[in-house]
Amino acid sequence: MKYPETERKEVVDTLHGVEIKDPYRWLENYEDPKVKDWLAKQNQLTKEKIEKIPNYNKALEKIKDYLSLGTLSVPKEKKGYIFFQKATTESQPVLYVQKGKTGEPKVLVNPNELSKENPVSLDWYFISPNAKYLVYGLSNNGDEWSLLHIKNVETGEILDDKIPRTRFCSLAWLPDESGFYYTRYPEPGTVPKGQENYNKHVFLHIIGTDWLNDDKIFGEGRSPTNHYSISLSEEGRYLLIGVSKYSKHDLHIMDLENNNELSEVIADDDSITTGSLLDGEIWILTNKDAPKKTLYKTKINSPSQNNWQVVIPETDNPISQVLITKNNIFLKVMKNAADFIQIYSKECKLQSELDLPKFSSILGMGGDGSIAANDQDNFYFSLMNFFYPTSIYNYDIKTKDLTIFKGIKPPLNIEDYIVKQEWYESKDGTKVSMFIVHKKSIELDGSNPTMLNGYGGFNLPIKPPYLKYSRFFWLENNGIVAVANLRGGSEYGEEWHKAGMLEKKQNVFDDFIYAAKWLIKNKYTSQKHLCINGRSNGGLLTGVMLTQESDLFGAVYVGVPLLDMIRYHLFSIARYWIPEYGSAEDPEQFKYILKYSPYHNVKKGAKFPATYLVAAASDSRVDALHAMKMTALMQWANDSKEPILLFVEGQAGHGVGKPLEKLAETETDLYTFLGWKTGLKF
């Protein structure tokens, strides 16, 4: 296959006595006209190749139909008003508000009306205590660098206050609605170049004042890679501050009526701890000395660990979320990588478990974080599984009634399909679980096009459903979908996470390889019919497969990936991820990173399977340079006849806020490429 000509330059670094060649470093300069020209040619080649796949346009229309099913967010309720986001055929989800469960929904924020050229997305929102105001963040082209706005919910007036750099904002309203505490990144030019993506702080903003004069409340003198989450006690005296260091979370309490006196709840501990405030108490969820987490409480005025009281001890199932109400405690727990909701009394006795569909994922349950407390008599949560797109449930705490508030009907006849959970042995003998979905009529004869998906990192559980609605396209056309619960996630607690990070990262790759081998051995598929799909950290995973087990797969998708692991930490916000991966700046970490870094393990003459690499020009998390450099190197090294294709999307980020039309095209490219190469008939 003829590829665009790509210059190789002699660039060699010496790290810890080892020479590291980097012949395509010039592709890191996205603003270089030569790079833009090279990328335009790569994009053109890819589009020409993929759009010639038989029945591409038919697949595009079908996937558009699936994506048009829409999405629903978990509602937030304040003072009888219900706020929720809904997406259908418009490019971006729209925020609605309605009075009570039967009220008529009214559009509150419609990002689709804000720009015809550059996609605008609603990143987050917070409602004031009496539902008078809405604070929300908007960003362009999926870059997630939110601009904060304030809107009067009743009148629709948008206030003059606009605050930039509020990416991943955490916010706590003052009880009188005169202002709020919030988190913000520094303006470029106010910190050394390269540091503007870090150095987040907590500020206090009073409505109607200049944000440039906002008081800095917390963060000064602390690590520039810290993330902060905040909540305020009901009367407004105490500010609870969570300090995230990715693999470690500290917790502090600030007395705002006593010169902002700061007390430690837990700090400098190798644990993840989150908290919430209710009725003069701090409720604490932590994996300290409990990999699957324990729930504690303590008085606000005695927050130190020696005063903590155990409320619910660690069990066999990881606790992923807690909701504390006046008379009950609700736990979202994971059992074998699926979610359940358990109800406890305030006396800590397990009363019941909600009757929910099997193999499901649950979002929400009364809060944005892992622990929330409120005095409401009901709460909302969303439930999804491999067949049900989204159902929003409401649970009435007083009557114990569980009802569906809003829902999206499944597009397939679910009676025709089966979901299984299988267990297989990884390289070191560890038992790993895997979900497998397919039509009941499929014969296990080794000929089925099968898509294996994985992630394995950052303490993130991969639960049903892992794929977008376009997975229905694969299943409907007699394909098999498999999702492996690799080490590095939190499916089985913090120990499962730690077994797949830093120097143990190879466990993740081994788990994935052995999942593929299990599928082949058990006749679900064969090498030529097996493809793999991964994005972000999952893109690193599938990238590693290209250099460690390239002959095991018929096709590989590498989405918004990290691939140059020697230099990854130098770009965008990637220093945040050093606790997960390590850094080549450390001589010991350098050794194990170099062993698996995909870009540094490509060998001339390798016979790669069909490979499709995708990145995004506005990605503020993972720089497109990874996919670009890897593509150039693979095209140079490849000795097979299979294509190595690259597409870098313009006006797109890490996947968040992507317009529906663009999403449909992206998903169609992915599914038709993998289907074409594995024999999927569509």
Active-site residues, by number, are 536, 654
Contact 298/307 with Cβ under 8 angstroms?
A: yes
Tokens at 329, concatenated: 């405690």
Q: Of 337, 345, 329, 349, which is closest to residue 466 (Cα–Cα)?
A: 337
* 524-535 exposure pattern, b = at least 16 Cβ within 10 A, e = fewer: bbbebbbbbbbb
**Sign (positive or negative) of CA dihedral 662, 667, 668, 669:** positive
C-alpha span between 31 and 77 (Å, rounded): 45
Q: Which uninterrupted H or E stretch holds 40? A: helix 33-50
Whether omega for the bond prior to residue 465 falls within 30 degrees of 0, making it cis, is yes
Sheet containing strand 120-127, edge to edge, reads 120-127, 133-140, 147-152
Angle (CA) 176-179-184 rounded to 5° is 150
Tokens at 32, concatenated: 């270089």
List CB contacts of 215: < 8 A, sequence separation 6 or more.
Answer: 203, 204
DSSP class per residue in 599-627: GGS--TT--PPEEEEEEETT-SSS-THHH
Angle (CA) 363-128-260 rounded to 5° is 100
Q: Amino acid identity, residue 87?
A: A
Torsion angle, CA of 255/261/262/265, rounded to 10 degrees? Answer: -50
Count of residues in the chain:
682
Place of tokens 């993998």: 674
Q: Of 267, 265, 284, which is closest to residue 276 (Cα–Cα)?
A: 284
Place of tokens 């082209």: 141
C-alpha span between 669 and 57 (Å, rounded): 10
